Structure 1
């Protein structure tokens, strides 16, 4: 008997959002090494938000409710982009970390927008 399989695991946008979360965690590890614990924790938390909201919304019984969660996930990708750009300006992050987060957040945001349009 295998482990349970959830609906969201089959969604390409969730898979990409999960990749974004992993990238944020890896970048946060660098912040921890430099003793910037609070910023690392903020990045980790924000990095998990898109995939978690997609997963939570996928358990909805109605598309309208699912779209609400997808919108939250999409806004979270913008939050991540803002964090990456601001952390870069402060000097906490540099390329390629910033570019990686921006590229993945943009990819996920675009897929979320397309899915929202499809469901709406």
Structure 2
């Protein structure tokens, strides 16, 4: 079945779950982090599915790959911020466990999709 929309992409669906999870986690951060770390985390979390969607909508494999790389970068940024939350003792490993799992899965799916699109793009050229 052909891809009709970014919504059909499992990686986008998982990234949406990750964003929702992050929005729940940042509610548990201290008030003094409301406009610092929590804001950065929300931005990074929203950036992942947003860049997947924007890239897919570009109708260019090369551009799609570029946006997937941006999503990968935002995902790595988010993972770092989750780890900082534990280092700063704002959250526990247990509290971020599900978000870390989702982030790891999204990263794997992004890498696999990039590889697949590169192969497709090379065959076309």
What TM-score comes out, normalization by structure 2 length? 0.85
Matched pairs, number? 113
- Trace 1:28-67 onto structure 2 (pairs within 5 A): 28-31=26-29, 34-35=30-31, 36-38=33-35, 39-67=37-65
Out of 111, 114, 119, the position equivalent to 2:109 is: 111
- The answer as to 2:92 corresponding to 1:94 is yes
**Structure 2 CA distance for aligned equivalents of residues 117 and 19 of structure 1:** 23
Runs of 5+ in structure 1 lacking a partner? 1-5
Out of 56, 69, 72, the position equivalent to 1:71 is: 69
User: What SS is found at the alignment partner of 2:58?
Assistant: coil
Shift of 1:49: 1.0
Q: Deviations over 1:11-66 (max 9, x none)?
A: 110000000000000001112xx313122222111111110100110111211110
What TM-score comes out, normalization by structure 1 length? 0.88
Runs of 5+ in structure 2 lacking a partner? 119-125
RMSD value, Cα: 1.2
Out of 24, 39, 51, the position equivalent to 2:22 is: 24
Q: Deviations over 1:63-107 (max 9, x none)?
A: 111000001101111111111111210111213222222111110
